[in-house]
Amino acid sequence: MPRPLIYAANWKMNHGPDAAREFIERFLAVTAPAPDRSLWFFPPSISLAPVSRAVGSRPDILIGAQNVHWEPKGAFTGETSAPMAQEAGARVVLIGHSERRHLFGETDDQVARKAVTTLRAGLVPLVCLGETLAEREGGRTEQVIVRQLEPVLDKVPAADWARLVVAYEPVWAIGTGRNASPDDAAQVHELIRFAVGRRGISGRVPVLYGGSVNAGNVLALLARPELDGVLVGGASLDPDGWAELVGLGMAP
């Protein structure tokens, strides 16, 4: 039995309610569930409810929010909370994506607090880690990954560690067309598992790879057993292309 794979689509600021619903209708029409893979969709928060309604009861699909605030409610204009995302149909939350960290100044501490609030709302946090090009070239990849991971493990109660999912997304690979090689990705995935294992967390924390994944490189990446799936931006925006990438496209 092959390990179950997670294919996560991060739509970023694309596909408002109508376009998102149309995407799902088309995707459902051209695919059927496969028992060995789970498909996670991260629409913009305004499209969460329509996407969730359109997906209906398809058992292989989970909907996720791209971001939540660390408080469950309050005077935080423009923000969405984990309980609200849950109410709109989310079961997963993307936490600490590099665009949040680098464009919106999210700190390691805020990322950790968001993971905690996500778990409290009964949702799965998909925590994103990754080094910049300068950090990689300076030989600091390991240090950066550990620095980003430790605050999450410090704040999340040990009883919830088994519910964490991690994505390794090197910043230099996101949206650049330059993916990490399967070997490079596998090496960092092992490092993440080692850092988690050092804290006494038993069991295998799923680790996804993200950064310029497309239909042409996904098989080589997933051939490495260290990868439990992929997190995909640009190549997840078209329903037929996404069906092909996740291996559920119709034969030509």
- Binding region for ligand PGA (CB under 6 A): 10, 169, 174-175, 210-213, 231-235
Q: Based on the residue annotation, tell me whether 22 is a catalytic residue of this protein.
A: no
Neighbours of 76 (CB within 10 A): 11
Identify the helix (H) or strand (E) that includes residue 37: strand 37-42
- Cβ 200 to ligand PGA shortest distance, Å: 30
In degrees, to the nearest 5, what angle opens at C-alpha 60 toward C-alphas 179 and 30? 80
- Cβ 109 to ligand PGA shortest distance, Å: 22
Given the residues 99, 169, 226, 244, select the one marked as catalytic.
Answer: 169
Given the residues 97, 106, 226, 244, select the one marked as catalytic.
Answer: 97
Return the structure tokens found at 102. 């680098």
- Cβ 29 to ligand PGA shortest distance, Å: 24
Beta bridge partners of 208: 167
Please give the Cα distance from 59 to 191 (Å, whole number). 32
- Cβ 175 to ligand PGA shortest distance, Å: 4
Q: Based on the residue annotation, tell me whether 169 is a catalytic residue of this protein.
A: yes
The DSSP secondary structure of 142-206, one letter per residue, reads HHHHHHHHHHHHHHS-GGGGGG-EEEE--GGGTTSS-PPPHHHHHHHHHHHHHHHHHTT--SPPP
Q: Measured from the CB atom, is 42 or 161 closer to ligand PGA?
A: 42
Q: Measured from the CB atom, is 162 or 219 closer to ligand PGA?
A: 219
Q: Measured from the CB atom, is 10 or 81 closer to ligand PGA?
A: 10
Q: Measured from the CB atom, is 149 or 173 closer to ligand PGA?
A: 173
Q: Which residues are the active-site residues? A: 97, 169
